[in-house]
């Protein structure tokens, strides 16, 4: 025991001198705070020039090339439209969704001649970039789902006032 005592005392002194090394005591910058380490004193850093987000090329390709239209894509479009678009645009696309009924500005009806004549890519672009008071959904809706929503919008347009004789033209009007 006497031999261990001279080794134990320096060890205890070293341990007593240690600071809290846990992550909660780290030196850090507050979000959007002042950071004297950087020349512009901004904590938030921009990505280096020329960097590309992972998956950006695949998303851009998916936006340019519409998928083939089938029942599964139409069903996916209905699901995504119901979840994302109906609060403003309503279930039939007339712009009478629940938020509109509570005072939010009404979006245009998909059944206006201008929007009936618009290509499906127009709806994909609006979902991607937003339009008017509608903000962009690019970070919320994947490119394939944007095309699915556009296909479903086209189906909504065709369903309003459609006649059985018009059903043969359905494939020509979808993307």
The per-residue pLDDT for range 19-47, each reduced to its tens digit, is 666 766 777 788 888 888 888 888 888 88
Q: Average model confidence (pLDDT) for the chain?
A: 86
Choice between 46 and 141, residue whose per-residue pLDDT is larger: 141
Q: Name residue, tokens 């025991």.
A: 1
Of the options 1.10.274.50, 1.20.140.10, 3.30.430.20, 1.10.760.10, the CATH number for the domain spanning 71-173: 1.10.760.10
Widest CA span of the chain, in angstroms? 104
Would you state the structure tokens that stand for residue 112, as one six-digit string? 């206006």
Determine how many CB atoms are found less than 10 A away from the CB of residue 18: 7
pTM above 0.75, yes or no: no
Burial of 156 (0-12, 13-18, 19+ CB in 10 A): buried
Euclidean distance between CA atoms 44 and 118, whole angstroms: 40
Share of the chain above pLDDT 70, in %: 83
Euclidean distance between CA atoms 24 and 27, whole angstroms: 9
Confidence class for position 68, pLDDT limits 50, 70, 90: very high
Confidence class for position 90, pLDDT limits 50, 70, 90: very high
Would you state the structure tokens that stand for residue 39, as one six-digit string? 């020349």
């Amino acid at each position: 025991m006497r031999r261990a005592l001279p080794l134990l005392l320096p060890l205890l002194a070293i341990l007593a001198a240690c600071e809290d090394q846990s992550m909660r005591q780290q030196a850090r910058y507050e979000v959007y705070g002042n950071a004297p380490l950087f020349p512009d004193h901004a904590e938030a850093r921009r990505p280096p020039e020329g960097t590309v987000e992972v998956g950006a090329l695949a998303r851009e390709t998916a936006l340019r090339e519409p998928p083939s239209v089938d029942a599964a894509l139409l069903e996916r479009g209905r699901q995504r439209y119901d979840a994302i678009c109906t609060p403003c645009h309503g279930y039939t696309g007339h712009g009478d969704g629940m938020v509109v009924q509570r005072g939010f500005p009404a979006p245009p009806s998909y059944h206006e001649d201008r929007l009936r004549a618009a290509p499906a890519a127009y709806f994909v672009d609006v979902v991607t970039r937003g339009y008017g008071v509608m903000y962009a959904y690019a970070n919320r809706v994947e490119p394939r789902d944007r095309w699915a929503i556009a296909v479903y919008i086209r189906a909504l347009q065709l369903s309003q006032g459609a006649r059985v004789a018009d059903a043969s033209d359905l494939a020509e009007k979808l993307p």
